[in-house]
């Protein structure tokens, strides 16, 4: 439940078009709801502007289904399940037939934000083809949140001319989400080329000394170019949420 829905509920009670009993029924589960194995935070959307997400690993298909269905029933904006397996998605479809699943990123969009016009644009830039699952997660989540999404793929620093010639496209967006594994150098390069905020996403792509993305993470945290924020390894979803907040809260 967000502020608009809560205000509408109170207005209807004040005007007499909604009874106090029905309003109490709608508010009964605020701020949280107890399921058999979870306690859902329905006030998170009211506090932060984004409903709680379901992290699928370690959960049974039924647990994923029940949590996502309860969140989607009360959220006014987007609801996501991250890192889901096909069997978890198939169980969720029983409760939410309109849900979509993106196999490569393993992202489930249980509910999309309803926006009349796009809030702004995120440009999702990825270094290599192997980084696409994480870049897809960022792009798909940003789209479901109501952002326009531009994609630039396979422009890693080993062929620096590839990213240099795409500068205008990146500058045209409101925020750039830059995804890279290996040495993780691409976000710093992009931040040195454009005036937009850069959200850097390290991936676990690379050989032994990449330490499953730790090398890329440390490179991004030590970026020479200013204006770079960094999320956790393989966290395309988190990057999309950062991009959404940047665009949503701009002056």
What tens-digit pLDDT sequence spans the chain (251 residues)? 566 777 888 889 999 998 988 887 777 656 767 767 777 777 788 788 888 899 999 999 999 999 999 999 888 899 999 999 999 999 999 999 999 999 999 999 999 998 878 889 999 999 999 999 999 999 999 999 999 999 999 999 999 999 999 999 999 999 999 999 999 999 999 999 999 999 999 999 999 999 999 999 999 999 999 999 999 999 999 999 999 999 998 85
pLDDT at position 32, please?
Answer: 67
pLDDT at position 4, please?
Answer: 72
- In whole angstroms, what is the distance from residue 134 CA to residue 236 CA? 5
Domain with CATH 3.40.50.1970 in the chain: 121-248
pLDDT at position 29, please?
Answer: 57
Q: How many CB atoms lie within 10 A of CB 24?
A: 10
Please answer whether residues 132 and 126 qualify as being in contact, where contact means their C-beta atoms are separated by less than 8 angstroms: yes
State which CATH number among 1.25.60.10, 3.40.50.300, 3.40.50.1970, 3.30.56.10 fits the domain covering 121-248: 3.40.50.1970
pLDDT at position 74, please?
Answer: 86
pTM of the model: 0.86
Q: What does DSSP say about strands 198-202 and 175-180: parallel, antiparallel, or unpaired?
A: parallel
In the block, which residue shows the tokens 């090398």?
Answer: 215
């Amino acid at each position: 439940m967000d502020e608009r829905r809560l205000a509408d509920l109170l207005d209807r009670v004040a005007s007499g078009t909604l009874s106090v009993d029905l309003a109490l029924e709608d508010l009964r589960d605020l701020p949280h709801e107890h399921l058999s194995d979870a306690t859902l935070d329905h006030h998170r959307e009211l506090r932060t502007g984004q409903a709680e997400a379901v992290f699928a690993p370690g959960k049974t298909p039924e647990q994923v289904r029940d949590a996502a269905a309860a969140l989607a029933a009360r959220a006014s904006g987007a609801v996501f399940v991250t890192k889901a397996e096909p069997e978890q998605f198939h169980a969720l479809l029983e409760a939410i037939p309109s849900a979509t699943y993106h196999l490569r990123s393993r992202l489930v969009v249980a509910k999309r934000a309803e926006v009349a016009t796009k809030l702004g644009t995120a440009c999702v830039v990825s270094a290599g083809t192997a980084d696409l699952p994480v870049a897809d997660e960022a792009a798909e989540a940003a789209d479901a949140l109501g952002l326009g999404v531009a994609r630039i793929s396979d422009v890693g620093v080993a062929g620096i001319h590839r990213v240099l010639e795409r500068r205008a496209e990146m500058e045209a967006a409101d925020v750039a989400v830059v995804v890279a594994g290996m040495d993780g150098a691409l976000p710093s390069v992009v931040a040195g080329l454009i005036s937009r905020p850069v959200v850097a996403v390290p991936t676990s792509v690379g050989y032994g000394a990449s330490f499953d993305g730790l090398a890329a993470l440390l490179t991004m945290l030590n970026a020479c170019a200013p204006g770079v924020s960094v999320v956790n390894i393989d966290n395309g979803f988190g990057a999309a949420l950062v991009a959404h907040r940047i665009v949503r809260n701009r002056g």
